[in-house]
Amino acid sequence: MNPTPVQSPPRPRGRGAAAFAVGLLLLITILSFVPGMNLGGSARAASLAQTSTSTACTVSSQLNVAQGGFATTLTVTNTSTTTITGWVLTFTFSGDQRITSAWNANDTQTGAQVTATNVSYNGTIAPNGSIYPGIYGTWTVWNNGPFVPTSFTLNGQSCSIV
């Protein structure tokens, strides 16, 4: 009696889609270990708060990152007891991020250094009041560091990151 050869079942089509899904799952798993990254699309720099006890403002951010691009909305709150009239917010990116457009601020960038100034409708920030400047930008190299800047100044005064 000759044994009947066992044939392998035919390979299912669509292996490319399965490989893509596995790669995507791997990327999500890796990104879940990036400090400050919430895979729901936002990042907060709470762990990067400065230790200064006297600051002019607090800054928090809502970051959305996609391959090669990002959008960030900042919340800048005046923590002083006086009204700010005319503001300049400065910060430095840690990687090769480049601003392509902005809202609620006039932004200029030289290298990694960014300067944002008020627009006509938000030049005054009352005590405990906030402004919400935002930027769209691009990036090419993931630098494994904080994507959101780790320090901000408002009119030359240090801000705390919350």
Tell me: the pLDDT tens digits for 28-67?
444 444 444 444 443 333 333 333 346 789 999 998 888 8
Confidence of residue 8 (pLDDT cuts 50, 70, 90): low
Decide if pLDDT at 10 tops 90.
no
Decide if pLDDT at 77 tops 90.
yes
List the domain boundaries for the chain: 40-161
The residue with greater pLDDT, 39 or 160, is 160
Integer Cα distance of 14 and 94 in angstroms: 40
Compute how many other C-beta atoms are within 10 angstroms of the C-beta atom of residue 123: 13
Integer Cα distance of 111 and 98 in angstroms: 8
- Both tokens of 155, joined, read 């009119």
- Sequence-distant (6+) residues with CB within 8 A of 96 are 139, 140, 141, 143
Q: Which fold has domain 40-161?
A: Immunoglobulin-like (2.60.40)
Tell me: the pLDDT tens digits for 126-140?
999 999 999 999 988
- Both tokens of 15, joined, read 């292996």
Decide if pLDDT at 90 tops 70.
yes
Q: What is the pLDDT of residue 130?
A: 98
The residue with greater pLDDT, 125 or 30, is 125
State the chain's mean pLDDT as an integer.
76
- Both tokens of 158, joined, read 């240090």
